[in-house]
Amino acid sequence: MSALRNLVSKEIKELFRDPKILIGMILVSIIIFPLLSKLVTYSVKSSTSLGRHFTIGLVDEDQTPLSRSLREYLTAIKNVDVIMYASTSQIGNLTQEVTAIIIIPKGFQANITSGLRAHIKVYTTFKPSSIFSQGSKGTFLTSLLKAYERYLSVLLLHNVAPNVNPSTILEPFNIKEGIFIKGKLIDIHPYAISQLLINYYFILPYSLLLLLLVSISISATAMAYEKERKTLETLLTLPISRVTIFLGKLIGSIIVALISSGAYVLGFTYYIRSIMNAVQAPISAGISRELLLKLGLLPTKLSYVLLSIVILMALISAISLALSLGAFAESVQSAQSISGILLPFIMIPWFLATFVDPSSLSLPVRLLLYAIPFTHVAIATRAAMENNYLALSIAALYLAIFTAIILYLTARFFSIEEKVLSSQLFKRWRRKS
Amino acid sequence: MYAIEVQDLVKIYEGGIKALRGVSFNVMPGEIFGVIGPNGAGKTTLMRIIATLLKPTSGTVKVLGHDVVHEAEEVRKIISYLPEEAGAYPNLTGLEYLTFMAKFYTNNEKELQEMIRNAARICNLGKRLYDRIKSYSKGMVRRLLVARTLMMKPKIALLDEPTSGLDVLHALYIRNVIRNYAKKFGTTVLLSSHNMLEVDYLCDRVAIINKGRIIAIGNPEELKEKYSAANLEEVFAKAVRQ
Ligand SMILES: Nc1ncnc2c1ncn2[C@@H]1O[C@H](COP(=O)(O)OP(=O)(O)OP(=O)(O)O)[C@@H](O)[C@H]1O
Ligand SMILES: [Mg+2]
């Protein structure tokens, strides 16, 4: 037991002091993501914030009382500056930077007074650097113009029917949205719910996939690393069993993978959340976890337990496979490419299982998909959301059997020392002859 | 009982190369036994088989009576092996490396500290033990590895070219350490070397291997007499050319 602990702690020390792992995985998550989210939040905020100034270039080709009223309306708004241009030909040599250009074409008033639809053209200034705020700029202007449109409608209605309240005609009813779930009507905006659930439906499966991939890449190189550093021969002659060495690698890889992908996921979650908060702040406020749980929209404790078993099994079998495959490689680099063989077996079924409804696939494809053990991790994540205990148990059972077989084979493989050493010896032989 | 008993050892590699073609010899407890021979003679192959890393094609090797194939785990508790081309974990410090290795041999804190003190004395790295191994020179790594091989006072030490890459002074120092270990603690040493001075100085008996066969065996003085040579180098040259 103490030999195992010794091996694991060495493994962790070595890996975390390896600059590639340290920089590549941990720093990226705890520095780049928060930084990125600050940036995005900032640019989103700065474009939507009321404190921001809008400068509008206005070309009034109509020159009528109505077009002038629009100009006065815009000028009256706080934070909006209006610069007048006599014609579109002047726009080319603008000196001042404008947020947008509004053109009121000729015939604006004439159309409206004769009962036809008039046009206003809005061009927002496009800069690749302000790609995030582009949409919100346009939205802001459109909402300004909509307000003006409403004001015009009221005015026109008033002229036609002075005794009627214009808003009952313009908006005879309100819409209140809610969701219908499991026979119950709930007054929650659907958008709010999906915003809350994105953590579970998107971030959780994504994190699991990441965890699997990270642990594979760490463990695939574990044996090759020993070979490259020429430490394997010594390790294999120590008074410890092969199985202990294998377990040391397995546990070390799992721990490092958990920590580094944990950091990554944390960073990423923070990033997604802060963007969403910046864009759509308070809609989801007021919906509690308890409510979601009661609605059966969140996994229960039992689901979590079953899902954890599935994840653990998948991790153990993936790492065992990667460890054995990687043992054939003589360098870390070739170990990495050898472990690449495993990736399609994880990624393809994963994406199929998350994005495609399995029942829509043809029977042979579906059977093939279900036969691949790692598909069941994706399936289990979905089943956990729906608290489908049967599906979860089947996934757990299937993965447990698969893992037991893999563990047995790997342990046997590692107890045949020549296999583990062979590629190294082979390399020596090639060099000498 | 012999410390090491090698009988009709044959090793044919997968590619068909015959590295050992029937090698037999015995090593007495407490003896320092040298294996010398030209490049590709089969010295490292022999060491690896005794160290349980390779399986013989035929023949047997027993270490204190334990078969290296069927009782490999037992054998590993007895031997301590210094590979010809070995490295250490670059991201650990020298001290961490020694501690890591020592922990496989004892659970007792006092014994552990004792082993580490031994190792520190052998490698003579001083304060550099607190530095990461990646900052060591080749010779410094070699000294660290020799120290780790001997620190637990093994019953049997297998040393494949122990002083390769060491400067003259450190090589001398390590040779003395090896000799003292054999004398003081009764450690049996099987070593290979290309340095005839070293072999002459250290070894009680020597086997000369060529092309997978032992072509001469005996103590250095006997061999010099038999080949009427002034030193082991001449013995080596004459034996191999025959
Ligand atoms: N993994 C291997 N596969 C095939 N042949 C090998 C392998 N390792 C060594 N050999 C061959 O076996 C023979 C003996 O090699 P070995 O390494 O035992 O020689 P050595 O006496 O240690 O040489 P040196 O003095 O160069 O260290 C050589 O012909 C070598 O090419
Ligand atoms: Mg050799």
Name, of A96-105, A275-284, B145-154, the range with top average pLDDT: B145-154
Answer yes or no: do A131 and A207 share one domain.
no
Residues B92, A241: C-beta atoms closer than 8 Å: no
**Which of A145, A173, A201 is at the close of a domain?**
A173
Answer yes or no: do A186 and A249 share one domain.
yes
Ligand 1, atom 12: nearest CA belongs to which residue? B19
Answer yes or no: do A110 and A16 share one domain.
no
Radius of gyration of chain B (CA): 18
Residues A229, B88: C-beta atoms closer than 8 Å: yes
Answer yes or no: do A188 and A244 share one domain.
yes
Name, of A184-188, A246-250, A339-343, the range with top average pLDDT: A246-250
Query: Which of B72, B80, B87 has its CB closest to that of A231?
Result: B87
Q: What is the 3-state secondary structure (H, E, C) of chain A?
A: CHHHHHHHHHHHHHHHHCHHHHHHHHHHHHHHHHHHHHHHHHHHHHHHCCCCCEEEEEEECCCCHHHHHHHHHHHHCCCEEEEEECCHHHHHHCCCCCCEEEEECCCHHHHHHCCCCCCCEEEECCCHHHHHHHHHHHHHHHHHHHHHHHHHHHHHHHHHCCCCCHHHHHCCCCCCCCEEECCEEECCCHHHHHHHHHHHHHHHHHHHHHHHHHHHHHHHHHHHHHHHCCCHHHHHCCCCCHHHHHHHHHHHHHHHHHHHHHHHHHHHHHHHHHHHHHHCCHHHCCCCHHHHHHCCCCCCHHHHHHHHHHHHHHHHHHHHHHHHHHHCCCCHHHHHHHHCCHHHHHHHHHHHHHHCCHHHCCHHHHHHHHHCCCHHHHHHHHHHHCCCHHHHHHHHHHHHHHHHHHHHHHHHHHHCHHHHHHHHHHHHHHHHC
Q: Which residue of B has its CA nearest to A420?
A: B53
Query: Which of B13, B51, B72 has its CB closest to that of A429?
Result: B13
Total domains in the fold of chain A = 2
Range of the domain at A99: 51-173
Q: What is the pLDDT of residue B221?
A: 93
Query: Which of B54, B92, B103 has its CB closest to that of A418?
Result: B54
**Residue A219 counted as domain residue:** yes
Mutate to test the interface with A, among B77, B100, B112, B164 (most CBs of A within 10 A): B100
**Residue A326 counted as domain residue:** yes
pLDDT in tens, A284-312: 555 666 777 777 777 888 988 898 899 88
**Residue A408 counted as domain residue:** yes
pLDDT in tens, B117-146: 999 999 999 999 999 999 999 999 999 999
Answer yes or no: do A214 and A167 share one domain.
no
Q: Does the CB atom of residue B100 touch ligand 1 within 6 A?
A: no
ipTM exceeding cut-off 0.90 for this assembly? yes
**pLDDT exceeds 50 at position B82:** yes
Name the DSSP class of B186.
Answer: -
Q: List chain B residues with CB under 8 Å of A17.
A: 91-92, 132
Q: List chain A residues with CB under 8 Å of B100.
A: 6, 10
